[in-house]
Amino acid sequence: MTASTANAQRFREFKMPDVGEGLTEAEILKWYVQPGDTVTDGQVVCEVETAKAAVELPIPYTGVVHELRFGEGVTVDVGTAIIAVDTDPGAGPAEAPAAAPQEAAADEEAEPQGRQAVLVGYGAAPSSTKRRARKPQPGVPAQPEPAKAALQAELNGRTAPVAPATPVAPAVQPAPAAPAGSAVPAAGRPLAKPPVRKLAKDLGIDLATILPTGPDGIITREDVHAAATPAAAPAEAPGPVAVAAAEPGTVDTDARERRVPVKGVRKATAQAMVASAFTAPHVTEFITVDVTRTMKLVQELKQDPDMAGLRVNPLLLVAKAFLVALKRHPEANAAWDEANQEIVYKDYVNLGIAAATPRGLIVPNIKDAGAKTLPQLASELGDLVATAREGKTSPAAMAGGTVTITNVGVFGVDTGTPILNPGESAILAFGAVKLQPWVHKGKVKARQVTTLALSFDHRLVDGELGSKLLADVAAVLERPKRLITWG
């Protein structure tokens, strides 16, 4: 066994796993260990945020942390090594295997099998095309740094700083050496991974103008963000400088705007809402209902011994009313299968509850909610909300929903036109309960009133079915004894 092979077996790297359903990247939120710390198999070493939730990652090795590859706040592609562990620290000092040289790592004669494990950077994904690392062309001097900065600034829509003129050397000067691991392709297509190319495209950045800092001259996410960041103001040049006067009526807003990268839950929410809004034809109907009796029942249930220790609120009874109405109209609990051109009718209800969290909007769901008793529903609803607020909701808890409730009333809002969660048939918005004048038994009295809004996929639910479903939810809330007679 060679020394390099022994080192490779001794120093094990842990790669970012796919913790969800086909997710491609995750952001490192927090490291629980540092280099030199002892870790054991199964110990949680970091917390990462995917497009769906925050997840803690256990490491499958026992040993001493040798290196953390990325800092907190960095988004890492799935399959990229994030930590290296020395699994045999008692064997004496040894150096972790170094990254392969740039030329050897990309040599077209090399034939890696699958994704290679390396201790610096990441393994090479299998490919049918072999590619040699690009080398600077002989006799072509590297572009001076001021010229690079000017070109980068011009391409990014900024004014390049004016550098003082320098005398021309009588002979060609040797090009300055590039930093280690920062090879710049002289020609051809810039080296970058597909997610990085997409990021550059979204930000309007030409990859050919970016100076790479990654291994083998690969452009990283940080390189793209650096190119998109407004350049710092140039130093004041000697002598008088003419300052362009601002045009009348214009306001400089650069100093009063902030740009935040779209990632994590916000990115997933945006993609889901756009996909839903422009895929499923939405219809939204509204109904205003007297919920005075339901509000009285809420207070009575809080005193019921069977509900002791459980959170009882109006949302609980709205959820139960929705489930009863779906039981009466099961055709509304369905999904559209575009690929097979089929409607999938579901004999179970996974009830989603839209929850606002510090990381954004998520929609975990209560599995098989229609089969649960009121105490069981209250228990799971309380656990769901508490877990969401702590940021601990798992991807599995957000998968497989069939219908959703969004409680906009907690913000004092009367109602809204909610957008369907992708793959679901209906979403019910529960508005604020307010004391309003209402005709009750022939007289105008102060009653507790709310407005419900139901959005549904018109491919699955026609107007009649949607109207009956919403009317039944309102009927149960108006006279909650229907929970018994209809349930």
Q: How many CB atoms lie within 10 A of CB 142?
A: 16
Q: Which of 66, 225, 329, 458 is catalytic?
A: 458
Query: With contact defined as beta carbons under 8 Å apart, do 442 and 295 qualify?
Result: no
Bridging pattern class, strands 403-406 and 351-353: parallel
Whole-angstrom distance, CA of residue 473 vs CA of residue 487: 12
For residue 458, indicate whether it is catalytic: yes
Catalytic residues, by residue number, are 458
